Structure 1
Amino acid sequence: MMHTPASMVMGIVFAPLGLVLVFTAAITPQWREGQARLSMTGSLFRSSVKTQGMGSKSGSVESLLLLRTDGLWESCLQVEQSELKQCWPVAGPYQRDPRVRLAQGLILTSLFLCGTGIVLACIGVRCWTDLPLRGVAATGGLLVVMAGLLSLTALGVYTHNLGRLGMTDSSQAIINPRFPPLSLRAAGSLYFGWLGSCLQVLGGSALLFSFKRPRCPTCPSCPELAVCPACSSCPEVTNRPDTDVYEVSC
């Protein structure tokens, strides 16, 4: 029975886990978040809040705390401590920002490469036979490493420009009394992405060790000669009951 190398086991565990985390980060809108306090001057906001049961007494609610989150493909706006929430596909300057488009492309490419690498790794491990396809498994590991590096690049670009995404010039930073600017910071999806990318790099690197072939045993009588399990010229090796026999090419 074949013993799967520890590097392969580590790779086929970490790589799919990293893929799930990066995919989760990609589809969730919590890449950055911000808060802004909005005065309750509009009758529409006031009536909406009362509908949600937040202002039973007149004048009890003088301001609202808005929570804004942005992702790669979706943005959301929610009123704190209420069910008022609305999400929409990214649009406007934020959608057209080249750094956001770069992050989108890198994440999509990363997901494709990681999925392909995992398929190759599963084929290469071949737990149903005695001989793993080491070259195929290692090639899958290389693709997984590349996927992890691409997602790390996307996350780095987004994080470095987090507060400037969607702002083409300084004139957009003018304070609007009806909708004050948000103080933006990194949100939960970014941390999922960082963790998933690191797991991809670790898993792919482990699979890369599949290129290393095992050493053939040596005959105790003739240490200078390598013994092939298919050859019965060395009884000291082939007749040992606790010796596992593998058909390996050295």
Structure 2
Amino acid sequence: MQTPASMVMGIVFAPLGLVLLFTAAITPQWREGQTRLDLARPGSLLRTMIKSHGSVDSLLLVRSDGLWESCLQVEHSELKQCWPVAGPYQRDRRVRLAQGLVLTSLFLCGTGIVLACIGVRCWTDIPLRGVAATGGLLVVMAGLLSMIALVVYTHNLERLGVHDSQQEVNNTRFPQLSLRPAGSLYFGWLGSCLQVLGGGALVFSFKRPKCRTCPEFAACPACRRCSEIRNKPDSDMTEDRSSKRLLRI
């Protein structure tokens, strides 16, 4: 069977989008910000911890947040600390909404890919176009849900858990962080777009190809070659019709 190009496109783009979105979901780089910590004050704990690095008056810290994990790292150093999201950031309804939408998107996309693989049926002659199109519809819905989650998070990026950040800043005497989108957010956008494209391609495969040259069929299955019927001599066509009439009698 010659698999339609729309099915091939869908069966390639949908899993790729799923992988990218899953990578974005488990990594803590949805947003990040930098701040400089003054170590000139005597008795600084961090100054004591990094005394092996020589005389250091200040450190540049990088704070990154994801959906389920946050990290704090000293730039150009292996010193890094990660912890599960907590506090007002975790309780923020917009963060919880993004978490729920992303999880739902991953589940729908995985289910849609399974249905699409069953519908394509590359090991047989006739594809199940309805099943493949249903899987594509689930993949499109998954892409739209993940896009909604990304829009909500990106639009409120600097306001998510702002009370928690402000409290932490006051406790450690940091200057206020200037937060910006990070790499995981871009992976999520790319994965969502691929999901929509792949799912849309599978949905388009629902339409059966029209074979106008076939004398007795309004539409042929995808694997049946109309050229064989078109190139068949008229005498053979007449004999076939006569045999069918005899069988009916």
Deviation of 1:172 (Å): 5.3
Aligned to 2:10: 11
Deviation of 1:47 (Å): 2.1
Q: Secondary structure at the match of 1:35?
A: strand
TM-score (norm 2): 0.84
Aligned to 2:194: 199
Q: Which amino acid aligns with 1:43?
A: S
1-structure distance, mates of 2:125, 2:64:
51
Q: Which amino acid aligns with 2:106?
A: L
TM-score (norm 1): 0.83
Q: 1:135 aligns with which of 109, 130, 134?
A: 130
> Which 4+ residue blocks in structure 1 deviate beyond 6 angstroms?
227-230
Mark the runs of 5 or more structure 2 residues left unpaired by the alignment.
234-249
Q: Which amino acid aligns with 2:38?
A: S
2-structure distance, mates of 1:146, 1:235:
40
* 1:48-87 superposed Cα distances (whole Å, 9 cap, x missing partner): 1123xx22xxxx3111101000000000000111111000
Identity of aligned residues (%): 79
Aligned to 2:29: 30
Mark the runs of 5 or more structure 1 residues left unpaired by the alignment.
240-250
2-structure distance, mates of 1:4, 1:123:
13
Deviation of 1:17 (Å): 0.2
1:48 aligned to 2:49?
Answer: yes
Q: Secondary structure at the match of 1:183?
A: coil
Q: Secondary structure at the match of 1:201?
A: helix
Q: Secondary structure at the match of 2:28?
A: coil
Is the alpha carbon distance of 1:96 and 1:110 closer, same or farther for their aligned partners in structure 2, counting shifts above 3 Å? same
CA contact (8 A) 2:210 2:218 kept: no
Q: Which amino acid aligns with 1:17?
A: L
* Greater fraction helix: 2
Deviation of 1:101 (Å): 0.1
Q: 1:147 aligns with which of 139, 142, 149?
A: 142
Matched pairs, number: 227
Q: How does 1:84-123 map to 2 (within 5 A)?
A: 84-123=79-118
Instruction: Name whichever of 175-184 and 68-77 sits farther off.
Output: 175-184
Deviation of 1:43 (Å): 3.4
1:237 aligned to 2:223?
Answer: no
1-structure distance, mates of 2:51, 2:169:
31
Q: Which amino acid aligns with 1:13?
A: V
CA contact (8 A) 1:66 1:78 kept: yes
CA contact (8 A) 1:218 1:226 kept: no
Aligned to 1:214: 209
Is the alpha carbon distance of 1:21 and 1:225 closer, same or farther for their aligned partners in structure 2, counting shifts above 3 Å? closer
